[in-house]
Structure 1
Amino acid sequence: MQGKVNANEIKELKDFIGKHFIYTYDNGWEYEWYCKNDHTCCYRIHGGMVKGRWVTDQEINLFKIADGIFKITWTEPTGTDVALDFMPAQGKINGVIFFPKWVHEHPEITVCYQNKHLDRMYEAREKYETYPKYLVPEFATITYIGDAGADNDDVINETPYDGMTDDIRNGKFYDENYHHVSRRQA
C-alpha cells in the first residue's frame, strides 16, 4: 500500500524493485523516481533547472552495493549521465548528475515528456557542445517511499504540476492499489 513502506525492510533488489520515491536534493531540487523493474526506471522532475521534465522506461543499471544500499546509473538520450546511491533506511540518496554543456545552457529544450521528443534530444545533442560537463554532486533527503509494485504504468503517467508531490505524499494521487485516481475505472 502506498506510503506504508518500512524503509528498513528494503534490503535486497527484490525489495527495491517497484518502490516509488520522492526526494529533495540539498540544493532544493525535488525529484520523483520509480524503480519500474530490474532494468528500467521512470521519473519526474519537480524542481531545479529542468523542472517539468519527465521520462518513462529509461534503461538503467541497477546493483545492490550492500544490504539496503543500491546504485543506479544511466545515460539519457540528452547525453546526461546519472549515478544515484539509494539508502532508504537512512532516508538518503547520494547522486551525481553529469549534465552536458548544452543541457546546462539550454535546459528548456529538455523540459517535456522526453519519450515523445527523442528526435529533439538527439538533434540538440548533436547541435550544441557537450563539454565541459556541468556536475551536480548532491545528497538528497527521501520524503516519500511508496510500494507501487513492478511494471506499474500508473506511477509516472503525466506531466508534473505544482503541488503534485504533496498530493502524492498526502494520499490524493493514487488509490489503495497504487493506480492514478483520475484513471480509475468506475
Structure 2
Amino acid sequence: MMRRMMLAAMAALSLAACNQGGTGPSLPPVQAGAQAPSTQTPQPGVQQANVTDEVRQQLITNIGQQLDQLAQNFAAGSAPPQGATDEVVPMQPATDHRWNVTMTANTAYTIIGACDGDCTNVDIELIDTQTGGVVASDMLPDDYPVVNFTPTANGTYIARLLMQTCTMAPCYAGGRVLAATGAAPK
C-alpha cells in the first residue's frame, strides 16, 4: 500500500512538473521579474467517491447558487462579460483548472470561486499570458476566493482555480468572471 502511494505521489509530481496537473490551457513561461504561479503538493490517500449523474447535477447547481450569492456580496452591479460562462469542474486535491479570459483595459473585473462541502480550501490566480506572471490572486485558506483586477491594456489572461484541500474527491469547484457595468466592484 505504501509503495502504491509513493508511486502515485511521484506520478503526480511528474505531471505537475510537465504542467499537466490540471485541465485547460497550459501555463505560459514565466518571464524574468514576473511572479511565478504557485505550485501544489499532492495529498496522498484522499478517499474517492463515485459521483452519479444525479449527484453531479446537484453539485453543479449548488456551485452555481454559491457563485450567485458571492456575486451579490462581492460584485454587485457586475455581470459576466459577453460570452463568459461559469467554469464548474470536478477536481482532485492539488490540481488546477485553467481557462482563458479576455479582458478590456480600464474595466474592473472580479473573479469569484466556490466549492462543494468536501472542499475547505480553493484558490484563484489570474495569470498574464504575455509574462506568465500572477497579476492578482486570492490564496487565503478558505473556500470562497475573490480576486479583483483592472487591466491597463486589452489582453488575454488565464484564470486558474486551484483545489488545495478536498477530503472526498473529486470535489466540485467553480469560477465566474464578472465585469463592472457601472461603479468599480467592492
After TM superposition, the score normalised by the length of structure 2 is 0.29
Identify which of structures 1 and 2 has the higher relative contact order when contacts are C-alpha pairs closer than 8 Å and 6+ apart.
2
Greater radius of gyration (CA): 2
- Normalised to the residue count of structure 1, the TM-score between the two structures is 0.29
